[in-house]
Amino acid sequence: MIFDMHVHIFPDFLAKKALSGIGETSHVSPVTKATLSHTREMLQAWGISGAAVMNIATKPEQQTNVNNWAAQVQDSFFYSFGSVHPDAPDAVEEVWRIHGLGLYGVKLHPEYQRYFVDDPKAYPIYDAIQELGIPVTFHAGWDPVSPNLVHTPPKALAKVARDFPHMKIIAAHMGGMRRSEEAEEYLIGLENVYIDTSMSYLIVKPEQAKKMILRHGSERVLFASDCPWSNPQEQLRYLEHLNLPQSIIEDIYWNNAQYLLGLNEKSGKSPE
């Protein structure tokens, strides 16, 4: 059983445009059409049993529609994270609405949302997330949309983790895209931080990834791909080649996500 904790999909009318725009910026070819139906088809063909959908409100005025759509697409395979924008005047209220909609967490992308992760203006949002006890996934490290300025360096994300010690933080891309050394120094070992493996086969040397997983504690590592921007099969092959004990692999692939999202506690909601 494999649960992918980092997948992106878009409404059918928007998917082609979104892929074209992001693809031109990142110079990465998508591996799915990023629609609901095609993403489900491909993930299941690749052996994925369930997935967390990461939605991003890139503008303040988008957050309501983004979260309404996120709630609409949830089923026994897709589990949605909502999003808020730090510049939205009702961002804190929207965090509470995300919880009320039954979404499983919050996704924040400081590179697209143009704020520094430790900016005090975002702290009321973090406070609400912490109070609700839902996880928050941060894009961590470099991103091609802001190639010369990193808004979520691992050191700053570690400060947020210390300032909100009960907030369940998921640091994407092994804690920091193109910042693995910094992630290892500042994030590894923090008890309220999970790391997801998205794109790690492209950005982290296998020996370093294995060391980070074992030091951090495998119970706080989540399998993730960042599909459609990387292939889950390649991510799986990379992790298999780390030669981790089978019990650790099972935690990373399935058990940790089930525990973090509370899926085993929700009757009828655990992926089949």
Cβ atoms < 10 Å from Cβ of 121 = 11
Q: What global pTM score does this model have?
A: 0.95
CA dist 83 and 75 (Å) reads 18
According to the model, what pLDDT value does residue 272 have? 42
pLDDT at 266: 59
Q: What is d(CA 237, CA 239) in angstroms, rounded to the nearest whole number? A: 5
Which residues lie below 8 Å from residue 89, measured CB to CB, with a gap of 6+?
60
One pLDDT digit (tens) per residue for the chain, 272 residues: 999 999 999 999 999 999 998 878 888 899 999 999 999 999 999 999 999 999 999 999 999 999 999 999 999 999 999 999 999 999 999 999 999 999 999 999 999 999 999 999 999 999 999 999 999 999 999 999 999 999 999 999 999 999 999 999 999 999 999 999 999 999 999 999 999 999 999 999 999 999 999 999 999 999 999 999 999 999 999 999 999 999 999 999 999 999 999 998 754 444 44
**Helix intervals (H) in the chain:** 12-26, 36-45, 63-72, 91-100, 110-113, 123-132, 154-163, 180-186, 200-203, 206-216, 232-240, 246-250, 256-261
For residue 23, the model assigns a pLDDT of 79
Fold held by 3-265: TIM Barrel (3.20.20)
Are 51 and 43 in contact by the 8 Å Cβ rule? The answer is: yes
Under DSSP, the state recorded for 151 is S
Q: Kindly list the domain boundaries of the chain, sorted by start residue.
A: 3-265
